[in-house]
Structure 1
Amino acid sequence: MVDNPNRKKRSYSNMTKTDADARLGFRIGELIEHAVPAAKMLSKIADENAVKETKEKVYRNIVDYLEVEGYPSESRSDFKEANISDLVYATIIPIISDFKRQTRCALRFQREDKEIVSVDSETGGTEAFVLMDLISVAKDKFVFVVEAKRSSVGEAMKQLLLAMKDARDIDNGGTVYGFTTTGDIWQMVSYNGEAFEVTEQFFCSFSAHARREGTMAEGFFYSY
């Protein structure tokens, strides 16, 4: 398809919630109302026994991060989106690394602004974290995207859903996964081209006691 140079692309971040609802074809609030437990979504794509070692690596990375950077909190004026991005990186790198070793998939993780533009060039935006499957020399396939925000969970979800829709349309097949996070609050989303599914919010958090004792805290990496 030839892009129209005179067409002005609407940025995810600049779209209103009403415009986003219209673009997606449903009300984002209604999707959130039908959120499912994280364990339900993860059970479709992960084997608990197979990922135990990876979970421990992720746990250690997060503990080390929190010891150095401190706990992410909206009340901390010095905690910026860049800090959250570092936490996201520490969280997902062991997962991607172990998955690549086990499957030998040609995945590329991009930790910089990756532009996603819809197939009709109507919408687009940049994502700080994008995982691509290099299926051929001329073709990349989106696997998942992450939208990190310092405090606005609703804004993060709006931008993530729009990015996932455009990414899946570009792929023209398969399922795209995504996460929103403020550092401690996370939500997981999947989109198969027909319907979105979102998990309930869960906390990837560690109490001071858990960090001191070196025990696994209640949360995403423990309870699923």
Structure 2
Amino acid sequence: MDNVTPTAPSPPDASRPSLTIRDWVKVVRGFYFVFFGGITLVVFVAEMLMTVAPRSFSLPLCGGSLLALTVGAWQLARVRGLGAEWVIQGRVLLVSVTATAYLFPFFWFWRQVPRNLYFCCHGLFFLMMVLLLLMALSVSSGALARALGRRGLTWQMVLCLLSAMVIQVVPFVGWAGVSVAAALRGEDPVVMLQVVLAHMHPFRATLWLLPFTLSLSLVWTAKDIALEQLLVAKQ
């Protein structure tokens, strides 16, 4: 009878991250929190810009969404086993969420006194941070995709960032300059924005919202990938 030499088990792939189940739980939980916190924040910030006066329930809901974003970003930043890029992006995301939460009270006061130049500038910084925060969420999703070798999701991240820069950030910078000039003249920049949005073509409005949907879809896909890795780790 021939002697059969047992083969040694193949070593684990060093290019793939090896996280514990607890770490994958943190990743899944973090993406859950930032997804629902991000979509709630976008909806109610848009609602506050479109109404004549902010409604009373908008303040606690926006505060709750910022709290969810903070918890999610903290969960993601605590995971260290996905490479240096993931660690850096986790810190950037946490700083972005913290800055957005810090600027939110100024945005709220700006909606109360829209002609105040001080609150106007800080409110515009808050809106810019919301845009940058969504871009940071996309980059964090891309960092997870690159750590796991998912190139398709990486290309989606690049498309999301380019569309956000061209469709949202550049027009917003122009509108911010117009808003500051209006506040200096004693006019209400929010009313000016509402007039522009009321006459905006539906296609242009949908196009401007496209980066939001791309960013949040990236976060949800990253959550699904992390959940898949968690189920594999439990086997």
Q: TM-score, normalised by structure 1?
A: 0.27
Structure of higher RCO (CA pairs closer than 8 Å, 6+ residues apart): 2
Higher helix share: 2
Larger-Rg structure: 2
Higher strand share: 1
Q: TM-score, normalised by structure 2?
A: 0.26
